[in-house]
Amino acid sequence: MLRRLHTRYLGVLLIVLSLCYITFSALFIFTLNRTVKSRMKSTLEQTNAYALSVVETIETSVYPADYIAMYQRQMFRSIKVLTEYTNTDVTICDAHGNIVFTTTERLDGIINIPELQRANKKKGLVQSDFGKTFREKQFVYMEPLEINSVPLYYSVATTSAGEYNQSLKGFTTNFWMIALFVFGVSVLLFAVTTHRQLDPIKQMTQAAKKYAKGQFDVRIESSRIEEINELGNAFNNMAESLEHLEDARNTFVQNVSHDLRTPMTTITGFVDGILDGTIPKEEEEYYLGLVSQETKRLSRLVSTLLDISELKSGANKQITEFDVAEIISQILFSFEQKINGKKLALDFDFDMDALNVKGDKDGIYRVIYNLIDNAIKYSFDEGILRVSTSVNQTHAIITVYNTGMGIKEDDIPFIFDRFYKTDKSRGRDKSSLGLGLYITKIIVENSGGNIMVRSKYGEFCEFSFTLPLKQ
């Protein structure tokens, strides 16, 4: 069963926060309990020490009995004041547990000395009624008064366990109420924050659904989260590419439809004219020649479309070693009439007479032919046509430059896309399908090189591509 990412995050947060709060609460309450009991034991020890000092003074005194009795009453009153101040009680008993003095009313019979001695051996304080010695559970700490190593009296300091437990319960309740409040606020803040963080993802989901329907004008808003913002930018870049590709596809369909319809209409009209006698017998040969030209034009169009599939698959790719400078020279000679017809100044600059490279020789011939043909076609009359070669450590660089209108800056990122034409009106080149540079790019990359373009609109255009040098 699928669950939303927001629900998953919230579930994980609840588990983590619950574990953290339970662990922290347990440690905090344990530490608090231990600290309070340690301080309580210290208070009981101090109370016992004072009470035993009083008893020892009375027991070892050599003063008259009346004076000792008066001193005893005064000192017992001071013990009572001390116990009221420290919220404790003190009971003094003899070695058999018989009570000599006490400040508490919670005793029930004589003191169970053996039970208290066992409790004293344990670490910390123990809650108990110590064998029904007390009417309710107490924290007890007992110390003996020994004379000549014989315990004569015991001082038993106590404090109510019920009061302590009630205070601890109240504190724990308040602590959990605060913890639950903080927990609730944390969950609320997390839910709101996560919801805001996931909003861009929801936008991307909706945008992807619209892209699937061909609506590429939707864009993702920027986010303050760096990673989400980068993803959104990548999404927008993808949308722009899809939009351009869709425009190019539509343009291609229009161009192909036009290029197919025009010759087919011409062929149909001429053939029908010959068949129905509209075209005279003496003119049939002329019109059959036009039909032949249009048929060849259709054949070239279909061949171009088939070439794309073959080039993409690399089925007929043959990597060989050849002299690219020689190929450039042959192509320039073949364009001599066109160059002279536009009165172009030809400038060729070769680093070396022979430049041996590796690649698809037939394909590279096609690339250079296409680039030079375009350079001549779109050059200004009496402009400059420059073809040059250079080398770096691993590759040869072939550059074709011409002065002319060049390419607009907005068109440069898409110049090598399928079906892309800078002249949307078909005014300058009615035969173009927008596939020449796309095919050129595939051939160069299949040969292990790269192609790039540099242009300033209204001034010049320069295409450069690389080929691996012969090892």
Residue 314 confidence (pLDDT): 64
**CATH number of the domain within which 232 lies:** 1.10.287.130
For residues 152 and 23, state if they share a domain.
yes
For residues 422 and 288, state if they share a domain.
no
Q: Give the C-alpha separation, 135 to 161, whole Å.
A: 12
248 lies in a domain? Answer: yes
391 lies in a domain? Answer: yes
Residues 408-426 have a mean pLDDT of: 73
Total domains in the chain come to 3
> Between 324 and 431, whose confidence is greater?
324
Q: What is the pLDDT of residues 337-358, one digit of tens each?
A: 999 999 999 988 887 778 899 9
**CATH number of the domain within which 154 lies:** 3.30.450.20
246 lies in a domain? Answer: yes
184 lies in a domain? Answer: no
Per-residue pLDDT band at 460 (split at 50, 70, 90)? very high
Report yes or no: 328 and 361 within 8 Å, Cβ to Cβ.
no
Report yes or no: 138 and 191 within 8 Å, Cβ to Cβ.
no
Residue 1 confidence (pLDDT): 34
Q: Give the C-alpha separation, 338 to 208, whole Å.
A: 50
For residues 398 and 459, state if they share a domain.
yes
For residues 128 and 270, state if they share a domain.
no
Q: What separation in angstroms does the CA of 272 have from each of 60, 279, 293, 428?
A: 148, 9, 17, 32
Residue 174 confidence (pLDDT): 83
- 452 pLDDT higher than 90: yes
Q: Give the C-alpha separation, 400 to 42, whole Å.
A: 97
- Write down which residue in 316, 336, 367 finishes a domain: 316
122 lies in a domain? Answer: yes
For residues 309 and 353, state if they share a domain.
no
- The parent domain of residue 241 ranges over 216-316
Structure-block tokens of residue 111? 């003191």
- Write down which residue in 267, 285, 316 finishes a domain: 316
Of the ranges 6-15, 101-110, 174-183, 238-247, the best mean pLDDT one: 174-183
Residue 280 confidence (pLDDT): 86
Nearest to 252 by CA among 290, 304, 296: 304
Percentage of the chain modeled with pLDDT above 70 = 85
Residues 354-366 have a mean pLDDT of: 89
Length of the chain: 471
119 lies in a domain? Answer: yes
Q: What is the pLDDT of residues 296-352, one digit of tens each?
A: 877 877 777 677 667 766 666 788 999 999 999 999 988 989 999 999 999 888 877
Residues 188-197 have a mean pLDDT of: 76
Q: Give the C-alpha separation, 225 to 237, whole Å.
A: 18
Lowest mean pLDDT among 233-237, 248-252, 319-323: 248-252
Report yes or no: 351 and 314 within 8 Å, Cβ to Cβ.
no
Count CB neighbours of 40 within 10 A: 20
For residues 273 and 223, state if they share a domain.
yes
For residues 84 and 140, state if they share a domain.
yes
Lowest mean pLDDT among 112-126, 178-192, 230-244, 457-471: 112-126
> Between 148 and 440, whose confidence is greater?
440
For residues 330 and 355, state if they share a domain.
yes
Count CB neighbours of 178 within 10 A: 10
Count CB neighbours of 199 within 10 A: 13
Q: Give the C-alpha separation, 467 to 469, whole Å.
A: 6
200 lies in a domain? Answer: no
What DSSP element (H or E) covers 283?
none
Residues 170-183 have a mean pLDDT of: 81
For residues 459 and 388, state if they share a domain.
yes
DSSP string for residues in 126-184: -EE-TTTTBSS-EEEEEEEEEETTEEEEEEEEEEEHHHHHHHHHHHHHHHHHHHHHHHH
> Between 88 and 228, whose confidence is greater?
88
Residue 371 confidence (pLDDT): 93
**CATH number of the domain within which 372 lies:** 3.30.565.10
> Between 425 and 199, whose confidence is greater?
199
> Between 250 and 387, whose confidence is greater?
387
Percentage of the chain modeled with pLDDT above 90 = 16
- 3 pLDDT higher than 60: no
The dihedral built from the CA positions of residue 342, 411, 409 and 416, taken in this order, carries a sign that is: negative
Nearest-5° Cα angle at 312, 307 to 314 = 90
- 451 pLDDT higher than 80: yes
For residues 259 and 307, state if they share a domain.
yes
Q: What is the pLDDT of residues 121-151, one digit of tens each?
A: 665 566 676 666 667 777 887 888 877 777 7
Q: Give the C-alpha separation, 149 to 215, whole Å.
A: 101
Nearest-5° Cα angle at 228, 227 to 232 = 120
Own/partner contacts of 305-313, CB < 8 Å, gap of 24 or more, are 305/435, 307/439, 308/418, 308/435, 308/438, 308/439, 308/442, 311/363, 311/439, 311/442, 311/443, 311/446, 312/442
Per-residue pLDDT band at 426 (split at 50, 70, 90)? very low
- 108 pLDDT higher than 70: no
Q: Give the C-alpha separation, 271 to 251, whole Å.
A: 30
Strands (E), 394-438: 395-403
Q: Report the SS3 class of residue 408.
A: coil
Q: Give the C-alpha separation, 147 to 128, whole Å.
A: 29
For residues 143 and 68, state if they share a domain.
yes
76 lies in a domain? Answer: yes
Residues 204-219 have a mean pLDDT of: 78
Report yes or no: 190 and 218 within 8 Å, Cβ to Cβ.
no
- Write down which residue in 141, 167, 193 finishes a domain: 167
For residues 324 and 401, state if they share a domain.
yes
